[in-house]
Structure 1
């Protein structure tokens, strides 16, 4: 794609070693932007549209773009003490990713670039981890010039409001599924393995089975196949599984049932950790950084009520923008053919206007 990149190895306070990819541009010293992928993705999942990806479009106009890899994914499978074959390596949820990973990366960016603030762009669970950091470690708000949250997941639709039967059934059975995986010692969720990549490329690539692949995508993200590059789906889909922990999946399922709270360990462990049988809500009122919300009306994981509820809870919302395409879904920010026009241009101008 014409850009080089630099890899930074960043240690978190709790011992994980993250690999963060910095896009090298012809004009160095631009304002830094930290981009954070969603659940089971990696930094490469933010460049699935090549030069039309938001990351590369930002680099093209002079921003210094850093793509972080959350703990446990394909690029960040290291810890100072634990190996990935040890349960303790996987004993985290999105809470720890927000509480430890993001501050470590922001500190590194600030020390390398000499800027005192970074722009933040998160997609899906990349929004969730930002809200964890900014509410639980409010001192980091002053290090964020603005946060752009794409398809924000925090306040969620109720199970009854979910339009996807697949999601509803999965969420209803999530506690049971988690116990089965845990007892089977399958602590990693959707790891990047060669067989999976080959299968996705075959099934989702140009073949008789492609429609089934698109049906599944429609049920889990929102039906919008006309906005996809059919010849690239197999390749793009193969980046989907980059690994996370089953506890992260479990925590995501919990917030759909009980609100945007810390991880629910069960009454006795909750009492020990939180001094309460119920996990505490994240204190969103402490988030002072400017926040812009972008979302699609055809996103099956969130809805207008859940986003507007979030907007009401955040003290400094500078934008609450529903993408003008009524079919825009959860993954269109990453792979939608019209995303450069209906989303990226708007986001780039928003950041430029804040300089």
Structure 2
């Protein structure tokens, strides 16, 4: 059996197999952006606790800032095209990724089907964030990723240090005092939590678009169906001392991408894995682009971030990371972690969610909406099997989500 697996692996990794892969499969985020015909920049931001984060920027569209049309409508741009030295651009969008994701997840489709490209063509100066620990943000002024201390962080630190540092930098470079914020999954969690540390940042945000918003998770079907497996995995991770979770290296990226290519005889396994992780396999993702997605995702994160989401589920609370009574007492001044208040989010928020999402349940969205101070849009995707990551990768996300999202952003610009 082992010999068979080795032979199959060797066969798939030969040139004829990789030749069938999409040419973007092993490109970086800036390389994919340029391959699509857009300008790309790479910036670095150092947080106050020493993590060096990489941000990717699309400072202009292919059409010189003119709206390319979405859902049959033509959104005119402000005419203020961005450049590296353009200070004062009033159409700035910052996009923050999900757990185990990176900046790449916002460009995983054709230009008229990817939200980052759509916004760039509409005249937005688009910035793509990367949280500490993912493939683009694995540097620290003092620590190395091989040290466990590097991974001693949770959602709390991403919310307290990473996103504020990136937003501060974007405002400084662009000269724009306000920003439109687009988040998916964890990108929404850290936004909501951030306002408990830095409520003044509400004043920096014109509007926040929350795709698959995550604050409460006690109705999440992924935990209902797989709690036993998830908890067993968490125990194993703890016992083995694993602090970094699921980052593809070049070798595994190549192997997985070839196995999941359109011509692979085992590609059905890839679809089964997607079903296991994200729910109904909606089949709205371009199969020819699946190798690109799997080469970039998962992008790596601290194990504590995944533990914290399980804590949300078990505690039925939106709260800081539970380190245990002793460390909680030292860090928070109480044996239990403090709750995050959604009422401290006073910027206008638009919620985008789907019944087919196994991670974000409609009941949890309802509770989130009831506690936010200013929900200006509560949008349910009108397709029952639209799943958690379809918000990013589905070919029909343009019609089902991005039209509404662009209208929301344009209403505040």
Return the TM-score normalized by structure 2.
0.81
Q: Which residue of 2 aligns with 1:37?
A: 97
Which 10-residue stretch deviates more, 119-128 or 235-244?
Answer: 235-244
Check 1:177–1:281 CA distance in 2 against 1; reply closer, same or farther (3 A cut).
farther
How many Å separate the matches in 2 of 1:323 and 1:76? 32
Q: 2:252 aligns with which of 187, 196, 213?
A: 196
Q: 2:243 aligns with which of 175, 187, 202?
A: 187
Structure 2 counterparts to residues 33-72 of structure 1, below 5 A: 33-51=93-111, 52-72=113-133
Q: Give CA-to-partner distance per residue, 1:245-295, whole Å, 9 cap, x none.
A: 111121122111112111111112212222222111112211111111101
Counterpart of 1:73 in 2: which secondary structure? Answer: coil
Counterpart of 1:265 in 2: which secondary structure? Answer: coil
Structure 2 counterparts to residues 4-153 of structure 1, below 5 A: 4-25=39-60, 26=64, 27-28=81-82, 29-51=89-111, 52-153=113-214
How many Å separate the matches in 1 of 2:340 and 2:176? 29
Q: Give CA-to-partner distance per residue, 1:17-51, whole Å, 9 cap, x none.
A: 11101102132135111101111111112110131
Unaligned runs of 5+ in 1: none
Return the TM-score normalized by structure 1.
0.94
Q: Give CA-to-partner distance per residue, 1:153-187, whole Å, 9 cap, x none.
A: 111134xx6267663234433541341242xxx32
Q: Which residue of 2 aligns with 1:232?
A: 289
How many Å separate the matches in 2 of 1:332 and 1:68? 20
Check 1:170–1:262 CA distance in 2 against 1; reply closer, same or farther (3 A cut).
farther
- Equivalent residue pairs, number: 350
How many Å separate the matches in 2 of 1:347 and 1:85? 40
**Is residue 156 of structure 1 aligned with residue 212 of structure 2?**
no
Q: Which residue of 1 aligns with 2:337?
A: 279
Counterpart of 1:145 in 2: which secondary structure? Answer: strand
Moved segments of 4+, more than 6 Å: none
How many Å separate the matches in 2 of 1:174 and 1:224? 23
Kept in 2, the 8 Å contact 1:178–1:250? The answer is: no
Check 1:237–1:225 CA distance in 2 against 1; reply closer, same or farther (3 A cut).
farther
How many Å separate the matches in 2 of 1:178 and 1:232? 31
How many Å separate the matches in 1 of 2:104 and 2:284? 20
Kept in 2, the 8 Å contact 1:134–1:286? The answer is: yes
Q: Which residue of 2 aligns with 1:241?
A: 298
Following superposition, the deviation at residue 130 of structure 1 comes to 0.7
**Is residue 223 of structure 1 aligned with residue 280 of structure 2?**
yes
Counterpart of 1:299 in 2: which secondary structure? Answer: coil
Two-structure CA RMSD over aligned residues (Å)? 1.6
Following superposition, the deviation at residue 116 of structure 1 comes to 0.9
Counterpart of 2:287 in 1: which secondary structure? Answer: coil
Unaligned runs of 5+ in 2: 1-35, 65-80, 83-88
Larger Rg, first or second structure (1 or 2): 2
Counterpart of 2:58 in 1: which secondary structure? Answer: strand
Kept in 1, the 8 Å contact 2:223–2:313? The answer is: no
Q: Give CA-to-partner distance per residue, 1:124-168, whole Å, 9 cap, x none.
A: 11111111112221111111111111111111134xx62676632
Kept in 1, the 8 Å contact 2:320–2:340? The answer is: yes
